[in-house]
Amino acid sequence: MIPDRAVPFTAALHLLALLISFFLCARDCTAQQARPTESQVKAAYIFNFGKFVRWQAQPQQSSDSFDICVLGKNPFGLALETTVAGEKIDGKNIGVKNLSNVAEAAHCKILFISSAEENRLKSILSTIKQSNLLTVSDIPGFAERGGMIELVTLEGRIRFEVNVAAVSDAGLTVSSELLKVALKVIGSKQAWEIDK
Amino acid sequence: MLVSGTALLLAGAAFFAYDQLTFRQGLVHALSAQAQIVGSNSVSALLFNDPQTAANTLSALKSSPNIESAAIFTYDRRSFATYLRDGGIEALNLPPLPDPQKESYWFRSTHLILARPIIFQGQLLGFVYIRSDLREIDKRLRRYAAIAFGVLLLSLVAASIVSSLFRRSVVTPIVSLAEVARSVSQDKNYAVRAVPSGEHDEVALLVEAFNEMLTQIQHRDDELQRGHAELERRVAERTRELLVANRELEAFSYSVSHDLRGPVDALNGFAYVLSKEYSRQLDDKANELISRIRGSGRRMMQLIDDLLNLSRVTSGAMLREPVDLTAIARAICDELKTSSPERKVDFVIEETSKVEGDPRLLYVVIDNLLRNSWKYTSNQPAARIEFGVQTRDGLPVYFVRDNGVGFDSRSSNRLFQPFQRQHSSEEFPGNGIGLATVQRIVRRHGGDVWAESEIGKGATFYFSLSKPKGIPSTSVTSPS
ipTM: 0.74
Does residue A60 share a domain with residue A27?
A: no
Please, what's the largest Cα pairwise distance for chain A?
65
Mark out the alpha helices in A25-56 (DSSP H runs): 38-49
Q: What residues contact residue B290 under an 8 Å CB cut-off, 6+ apart?
A: B271, B274, B275, B279, B282
Mean pLDDT of A93-103: 87
Residue A196 has what pLDDT?
A: 41
Residues spanned by the domain of A17: 1-35
Q: What is the CATH number of the domain that holds A103?
A: 3.40.50
**Cα atoms in the 13 Å half-sphere on the side-chain side of B466:** 11
**A14 φ, ψ to 5°?**
-60, -45
Nearest to A178 among B44, B49, B120 (CB): B44
* Cα–Cα distance measured from residue A142 to residue B416, given in angstroms and rounded to the nearest whole number: 161
* Cα–Cα distance measured from residue A155 to residue B374, given in angstroms and rounded to the nearest whole number: 164
Consecutive H or E run containing B54: helix B51-59
Residue A27 has what pLDDT?
A: 44
Does residue A128 share a domain with residue A42?
A: yes
Q: Give yes or no for a contact between A158 and A152, defined as CB atoms under 8 angstroms apart.
A: yes
**CB within 8 Å: B53 and A180:** yes
**CB within 8 Å: B49 and A158:** yes
**Cα atoms in the 13 Å half-sphere on the side-chain side of B4:** 13
Angle at B76 between CA B71 and CA B77, to 5 degrees: 30
- Residue B352 is which amino acid? T
CATH homologous superfamily for B2-141? PAS domain (3.30.450.20)
In DSSP notation, B86-136 reads T-S------PPPSSTTS-EEEE-SSEEEEEEEEEETTEEEEEEEEEEE-HH
Q: Does B92 touch chain A (CB under 8 A)?
A: no
**CB within 8 Å: A52 and B44:** yes
Q: Give yes or no for a contact between B355 and B322, defined as CB atoms under 8 angstroms apart.
A: yes
Residue A20 has what pLDDT?
A: 61
Angle at A188 between CA A139 and CA B120, to 5 degrees: 75
Does residue A103 share a domain with residue A9?
A: no
Consecutive H or E run containing A135: strand A134-137
- Residue A40 is which amino acid? Q
End-to-end CA distance of chain A: 47
Give the CATH number of domain B317-480: 3.30.565.10
Mean pLDDT of A124-146: 88
* Cα–Cα distance measured from residue A147 to residue A114, given in angstroms and rounded to the nearest whole number: 12
pLDDT digits (tens, 9 = 90+) for A44-60: 999 999 999 998 876 65
**CB within 8 Å: A181 and B76:** no
Mean pLDDT of A127-148: 89
Q: Give yes or no for a contact between B362 and B325, defined as CB atoms under 8 angstroms apart.
A: yes
Å between B130 CA and nearest CA of chain A: 22
Does residue A129 share a domain with residue A173?
A: yes
Please give the C-alpha separations between residue B354 and each of A67, B5, B39, in angstroms, as whole numbers.
160, 87, 135
Does residue A66 share a domain with residue A14?
A: no
**CB within 8 Å: A157 and B49:** yes
Reference B120, options A179, A89, A12, A120; nearest CA is A89
Residue A24 has what pLDDT?
A: 53
Question: Residues of chain A whose C-beta is under 8 A from some C-beta in B?
Answer: 31-32, 41, 44-45, 48, 51-52, 157-160, 175, 177-178, 180-181, 196
* Cα–Cα distance measured from residue A156 to residue A159, given in angstroms and rounded to the nearest whole number: 9
What are the chain A neighbours of B45 within 8 Å (beta carbons)?
180-181
Does residue A128 share a domain with residue A172?
A: yes
Reference B114, options B131, B97, B98; nearest CA is B131
What are the chain B neighbours of A44 within 8 Å (beta carbons)?
47
Residue B438: how many other CB atoms lie within 10 Å: 23
Q: Tell me the Cα Rg of chain B.
A: 60
Q: Give yes or no for a contact between A57 and A21, defined as CB atoms under 8 angstroms apart.
A: no
Domain regions of chain B by residue span: 2-141, 317-480
- What residues does B386 pair with on adjacent strands? B348, B401
**CB within 8 Å: B45 and A180:** yes
**pTM check: above 0.90:** no
Q: Give yes or no for a contact between B453 and B409, defined as CB atoms under 8 angstroms apart.
A: yes
In this structure, what is the dihedral angle of CA atoms B222, B223, B227, B230, given to the nearest 10 degrees? 70
**CB within 8 Å: B45 and A181:** yes
**CB within 8 Å: A181 and B48:** yes
Does residue A87 share a domain with residue A27?
A: no
Nearest to B43 among A159, A160, A177 (CB): A177
Residue B60 has what pLDDT?
A: 92
Q: What residues contact residue B59 under an 8 Å CB cut-off, 6+ apart?
A: B83
Q: Tell me the Cα Rg of chain A.
A: 19
Domain total of chain A = 2
Q: What does each of the 480 residues of chain B score in pLDDT, given as a tens digit?
A: 788 778 888 888 898 889 888 888 999 999 999 999 999 999 999 999 899 999 999 999 999 888 989 999 998 888 899 988 887 656 566 777 777 788 888 888 888 899 999 999 888 899 999 999 888 888 888 888 888 888 888 888 888 888 888 887 778 888 888 888 888 888 888 887 877 777 778 888 888 888 899 899 889 989 999 999 999 999 999 999 998 988 888 788 878 888 888 899 999 999 999 888 888 888 889 889 999 999 999 888 888 888 877 777 776 677 888 999 999 999 999 998 888 888 888 899 988 888 888 888 898 899 999 988 998 888 888 889 999 999 988 889 999 999 988 888 777 777 887 777 777 766 677 767 788 889 888 988 889 999 999 888 889 999 998 865 555 544 444 444
* Cα–Cα distance measured from residue A37 to residue A59, given in angstroms and rounded to the nearest whole number: 38
Å between B155 CA and nearest CA of chain A: 59
Residue in A closest to B52 by C-alpha: A196
Å between B112 CA and nearest CA of chain A: 29
**Cα atoms in the 13 Å half-sphere on the side-chain side of B107:** 9
Does residue A153 share a domain with residue A166?
A: yes
Reference A174, options A183, A163, A190, A184; nearest CA is A163
**Cα atoms in the 13 Å half-sphere on the side-chain side of B80:** 30
Kindly state the DSSP code that residue A116 receives in the 8-state scheme.
G
Kindly state the DSSP code that residue B169 receives in the 8-state scheme.
I
* Cα–Cα distance measured from residue A191 to residue A193, given in angstroms and rounded to the nearest whole number: 7
Reference B35, options B109, B94, B110; nearest CA is B94
Same fold, B2-141 and B317-480: no
SS3 content of chain B, % helix, strand, coil (to 5): 55, 15, 25
What are the chain A neighbours of B121 within 8 Å (beta carbons)?
51
What are the chain A neighbours of B43 within 8 Å (beta carbons)?
177
Instruction: Name residues 98-137 of chain B within 8 A of A (Cβ).
Output: 120-121
Residue B172 has what pLDDT?
A: 82
Kindly state the DSSP code that residue B304 receives in the 8-state scheme.
H
* Cα–Cα distance measured from residue B450 to residue B461, given in angstroms and rounded to the nearest whole number: 6
Q: What residues contact residue B396 under an 8 Å CB cut-off, 6+ apart?
A: B352, B355, B389, B390, B464, B465
CB burial of residue B61 (10 Å; 0-12, 13-18, 19+):
buried
What are the chain B neighbours of A160 within 8 Å (beta carbons)?
48
Q: Does B48 touch chain A (CB under 8 A)?
A: yes
* Cα–Cα distance measured from residue A178 to residue B160, given in angstroms and rounded to the nearest whole number: 71
Kindly state the DSSP code that residue A131 receives in the 8-state scheme.
S
**CB within 8 Å: B43 and A196:** no
